[in-house]
Structure 1
């Protein structure tokens, strides 16, 4: 009788919380949305915008007291074997921190949920799991659509920092309304609310740590909350945990314009004199170069203060028909043959089934038909590509960003620059740039900032060139979790050089165990 009474009380509590969530209009665990279900965008975002009131939650604020062997294990992992990943994640975090935390505050949620995106995707919009989860918050297709995200052949809002964070906020509001515990909400985000609800009812507890001790949840979920706590502790106090040398990216800022016709984003970027990758980073939800109209309008994010120029550029970049154009020729068309499956096509083009599903907007249950055309990674040798356009753009950019005066050479910081990328470009080191410009550790670069860089005949440049010339040729075996960005940073070489050396057209197709050549810089070039 006592067991039956306890079970009844737990069921009543969960049902009461879920009912409360639906009354307040919060997205429930079953995916109910308030209003018309459409995710709202942010018109503009500036670092100078006033911050709204923060939501303080006792459970999350008391996280430091919950440090236990599982949390310490993950801290040790990030300080050791996982250090390259954490350094990369921390460097990206500052680009999205203020924006995502604003979205969480506007939804009445604790800012600390921001660090869920760190352990889910490392703040990579292109992150794709083997389960076809995509974007910053790793939504699978069904859950993304359930929470109002637009996913089709041209658009994937799971890759957008605002839309995806709005959807994650709705999801977390629903989970918290059911469990009344952020730890259980996080566990549900990882394994699903039904599994966690079942364990809560069976063991008469809403204590995540008790369920973890009894091993009533999957191993990945038991480690999920400690991993989140470890990542949060390191991100909030990087110096304390040995991450004081991070070269942080500048925070994202933007305005927006509205037009009523589809636009070619590459053409518009050229007319705005912007790097296409930087412009696309403001609008990452578009899968290719063409941005289609939704309803009767198209909203584009633009660099702050460029509204007039952007409207003119947009009107000059209108396309007459909406067709998918892959970024930088990364894909090609493949025609399905008899006997083909996504697995065989993925193996043939050295990619994954998840990537092909995402690229072609293919639901799991949609069968392939003979003659059907799908996009696959382009394996055309790089030497066959025309390089004249690329060289012209590079020359134009260098002319605009470098100036020479009587006391040395200066570089004008561009959108997306960091001390690491500038140091690599001028064959020097981050510490040398910090010394030349008296830049203190932790200071972020601002677009338009004037930096002094070593001249070709300076002693520091000669020393750097000599040290690079002595480097030996290396072969790198790709490990789980690695990507070209991290490998390039590890060997202090350009990702473009690695791609050309190994004829890699699509970086996302890099497979575990692949052997890639690391290019060697030659002296006196």
Structure 2
């Protein structure tokens, strides 16, 4: 859905110079003693960001003085008709061509594409990416090279705008192992329920929210449903962030079906969602011309290249890497959804292996099947009670203090009442093949109140 308000202002600022030029060329009588100077024209022609700030000639008088020389007369003169006409034409058409160049990049070409609305909120995040957020945005750009080709291909197959890949940039910075405090996981930050709804396997061995290809397919299907519901990519993105039901309630309550109008009402949407869409639009503006915004010499990561091979169940990736003589880290990085760094129990598994190793896996099947079964540690969740110690908790669950500290990234042995700990316990995997439960974790709530 095209934002007609933003379209109006884009074309308004495009044709405003034409109108001013026409009026000034028709001006007769006493000419101004001095019209726009050569330096002012040069300044105007180099204002590459003027379109983005929403102004070309319509600046305040304080800002406009850099373009015009004001005379104590009844009007302002853009040019001196006697000797400046052709120079004015030359600079005018340079400005016009530059504006056209930006418009071609920024305007949506079909109703299916994401509109670029340039307002104060979007400009705020453009400035943030250029300044305080430069290091972070640079890392995002570097990671993007690894995933965008694959993500774009999936989106195009679903007839979705390729620019939707930048939702993943804002969600996770293209970090496949990203985790939020709310339990969202992976490059597209699916929560458990939504991930499963869109076909992602999530259990104690595999979390496909961290599988770049499968999570992108799930995100594409979800975004397609959201667009069908709202007929607006801004609202679809808002629904992706806040949930479709929250957005629909806001539409019904405030009688707005335009995100930018709705975002002016603070209570309509959560603050995070009101900022989420401007972040995406600002990222789109920057990534389409990163050099213009100072992002030069970006070391883009190379796309992942791999083969898929059948390997036996419940085998450690370290053991598999040793048998096929490849690097364990490379094998692990190709398979981030294997949360135990081992293939799941039950049946053979399609494992990603480095290019050229598919044949090796086929030749090493006997050795791979002979590998020792991987008995993964399972976890229970325990809430610390008054009087608890790490040693006592470890004895209770037949674990060890060192493994509890390592699992919970504890530097010392100090724990506090109400603190949640993940306690590793041994698990043979024998029950997994018969019933694929999520993670068999139990929760123990403290009887005493947590300390403040």
Cα displacement string for residues 387-416 of structure 1 (whole angstroms, at most 9, x for unaligned residues): xxxxxxxxxxxxxxxxxxxxxxxxxxxxxx
Specify whether residues 209 and 83 from structure 1 end up closer, same or farther in structure 2 by C-alpha distance, changes over 3 A only. same
Does residue 263 (structure 1) correspond to residue 263 (structure 2)? The answer is: no
Give the TM-score taking structure 1 as reference length.
0.52
Q: CA deviation at 1:292?
A: 1.7
Separation in structure 2 between the aligned mates of residue 357 and residue 88 of structure 1, nearest angstrom? 34
Asked whether the equivalents of residues 92 and 123 of structure 1 are also in contact (C-alpha less than 8 Å), the reply is yes
Does residue 182 (structure 1) correspond to residue 228 (structure 2)? The answer is: no
* 3-state SS in 2 of match to 1:199: helix
Aligned equivalent of 2:178 = 127
Aligned equivalent of 1:48 = none
Q: CA deviation at 1:184?
A: 0.3
Aligned equivalent of 2:331 = 279
Specify whether residues 235 and 108 from structure 1 end up closer, same or farther in structure 2 by C-alpha distance, changes over 3 A only. same
* 3-state SS in 2 of match to 1:252: coil
Separation in structure 2 between the aligned mates of residue 337 and residue 269 of structure 1, nearest angstrom? 37
Asked whether the equivalents of residues 315 and 343 of structure 2 are also in contact (C-alpha less than 8 Å), the reply is yes
Aligned equivalent of 1:228 = 280
Specify whether residues 292 and 148 from structure 1 end up closer, same or farther in structure 2 by C-alpha distance, changes over 3 A only. same
Aligned equivalent of 1:309 = 360
Asked whether the equivalents of residues 258 and 300 of structure 1 are also in contact (C-alpha less than 8 Å), the reply is yes
Asked whether the equivalents of residues 183 and 225 of structure 1 are also in contact (C-alpha less than 8 Å), the reply is yes
Separation in structure 2 between the aligned mates of residue 168 and residue 353 of structure 1, nearest angstrom? 34
Cα displacement string for residues 282-326 of structure 1 (whole angstroms, at most 9, x for unaligned residues): 1111012311256x431011223332112234542334434227x
Which is worse superposed, 296-305 or 355-364? 355-364
Aligned equivalent of 1:486 = none
Aligned equivalent of 1:158 = 209
Aligned equivalent of 1:78 = 129
* 3-state SS in 1 of match to 2:293: coil
Equivalent residue runs for 1:344-423 within 5 Å:
349-350=409-410, 366-368=442-444
Separation in structure 1 between the aligned mates of residue 385 and residue 109 of structure 2, nearest angstrom? 55
Separation in structure 2 between the aligned mates of residue 264 and residue 278 of structure 1, nearest angstrom? 14
Cα displacement string for residues 239-293 of structure 1 (whole angstroms, at most 9, x for unaligned residues): 1111112111111122211245433211222333332121111111101231125
Aligned equivalent of 1:430 = none
Runs of 4+ in 1 over 6 A off after TM superposition: 332-335, 344-348, 351-355, 357-365
* 3-state SS in 1 of match to 2:236: helix
Separation in structure 2 between the aligned mates of residue 307 and residue 81 of structure 1, nearest angstrom? 45
Separation in structure 2 between the aligned mates of residue 143 and residue 119 of structure 1, nearest angstrom? 18
Selected match of 1:298 from 308, 330, 349: 349
* 3-state SS in 2 of match to 1:58: coil
- Structure 1: runs of 5+ lacking an equivalent: 1-55, 326-331, 371-525
Specify whether residues 336 and 177 from structure 1 end up closer, same or farther in structure 2 by C-alpha distance, changes over 3 A only. closer
Q: CA deviation at 1:365?
A: 9.8
Asked whether the equivalents of residues 114 and 233 of structure 2 are also in contact (C-alpha less than 8 Å), the reply is no
Q: CA deviation at 1:67?
A: 1.1
Which is worse superposed, 242-251 or 263-272? 263-272
Cα displacement string for residues 64-94 of structure 1 (whole angstroms, at most 9, x for unaligned residues): 4x11111110011111111111111111100
Does residue 207 (structure 1) correspond to residue 258 (structure 2)? The answer is: yes
Aligned equivalent of 2:65 = none
Aligned equivalent of 1:6 = none
Equivalent residue runs for 1:60-71 within 5 Å:
61=113, 63-64=115-116, 66-71=117-122
Asked whether the equivalents of residues 257 and 301 of structure 1 are also in contact (C-alpha less than 8 Å), the reply is yes
Count of residue correspondences: 305
Separation in structure 1 between the aligned mates of residue 166 and residue 150 of structure 2, nearest angstrom? 13
Separation in structure 2 between the aligned mates of residue 174 and residue 353 of structure 1, nearest angstrom? 39
Specify whether residues 238 and 356 from structure 1 end up closer, same or farther in structure 2 by C-alpha distance, changes over 3 A only. farther
Does residue 169 (structure 1) correspond to residue 245 (structure 2)? The answer is: no
Cα displacement string for residues 340-372 of structure 1 (whole angstroms, at most 9, x for unaligned residues): 89xx989974499899599999889952389xx
Selected match of 1:251 from 303, 307, 312: 303
Structural RMSD (CA): 3.6
Give the TM-score taking structure 2 as reference length.
0.60
Separation in structure 1 between the aligned mates of residue 257 and residue 423 of structure 2, nearest angstrom? 37
Aligned equivalent of 1:321 = 373
